[in-house]
Amino acid sequence: MATCRLCSQALTVELDSDSFDEATASSVGHASTAPDDLLLTCGCHFHWQCLLDESPQIALDLACPACQNSIVSTTPGPSSTNRLLPQSSPQPFILSRYHNEGGIQENLDILPLITEEAYLEANPSKRPARAFMIMCAEGDVTGIVELLKNLQEDGMDEDDEEEEEEDGEKMKPGEVVRWQDPLDGGKTGLHVALEKGQEEAVWLLLWLGSGIETGVFPQEVVHAAETMEAERNLGEAGKGEDVRGIRDEAERTPGDVVRNMGSAWAGLVAAGILG
């Protein structure tokens, strides 16, 4: 039976009792297991986390960390492109087969995940910003507010203790709101929320990162923001750059993005709210 080439353990993962029910558990109330088998094109098997732990080296040489054979392909998979590589170059992929409790995923391109993990290993202070971008894409307004509050509280603790992270100071809430993601073409959370059609997240980001007068916001937005205790225009002394004017790598402001999307955001554009 195949084992993980990195840890030599069985290609399974233990599940807590809360993760399964009587129909799927071998023994109710006791830990059970699920498949955790990532197969690369070279034929080597890994646990998902074991392979991700090798992301910095894999991102550099695009080779299997066990047998050192190339695992790169130019045959497209279903995943997104790797924006860290020159767009004029043939787009590489790392195709795999992953078997977990949800079934088997064939031709899964894991290069974007490898690239992201390698970036975060080198820049650990950017993890909150990456989490923020995911929340913007998913429209998780409660998660956004909680994340920013936690950063604010951490910043206050750092001021008291005068601590710094190994790769620099922790990000401040206003910096996260205006952060441009190098893994996604330099977009801000507002760019992404607009592209994904996340209306509540768009209004929240405008509340947090723009100079729009409070009276312009719909009353329900103001009420929701105040209920969540979301601060207005987060930034240095409340004077951070207006998020509506930040351009991605394609030189597009958030307003430019929606003008190319047809009528989905026509009202905000017509009212000049997006610049």
Residue ranges making up the domain that contains 264: 124-270
Is the same domain home to 149 and 171?
yes
Residues 171, 175, 177, CA angle at the centre, nearest 5°?
A: 120
d(CA 35, CA 26): 14
Of the three residues 89, 119, 149, the one that is the final residue of a domain is 119
Q: Establish if 4 belongs to a structural domain.
A: no
pLDDT at position 237 is 47
Is the same domain home to 131 and 100?
no
pLDDT in tens, 40-78: 999 999 999 999 999 999 999 999 999 999 999 876 554
Q: Tokens 């197969």 — which residue?
A: 39
The pTM assigned to this predicted structure is: 0.77
Of the three residues 99, 119, 139, the one that is the final residue of a domain is 119
Total number of domains constituting the chain: 2
Q: Tokens 């790169």 — which residue?
A: 72
Is the same domain home to 184 and 225?
yes
Of the three residues 97, 119, 141, the one that is the final residue of a domain is 119
Is the same domain home to 115 and 132?
no
**Whole-number average pLDDT of the chain:** 85
Is the same domain home to 91 and 133?
no
Is the same domain home to 108 and 131?
no
Averaged pLDDT, 16-30: 52
pLDDT in tens, 198-216: 999 999 999 999 989 999 9
181 within 8 A of 130, measured Cβ to Cβ: yes
Is the same domain home to 151 and 266?
yes
* pLDDT band per the 50, 70, 90 thresholds, residue 160: very low
> How far is residue 140 CA from its own chain's centroid?
12
Does the pLDDT value for residue 143 go beyond 50?
Answer: yes
Is the same domain home to 161 and 129?
yes
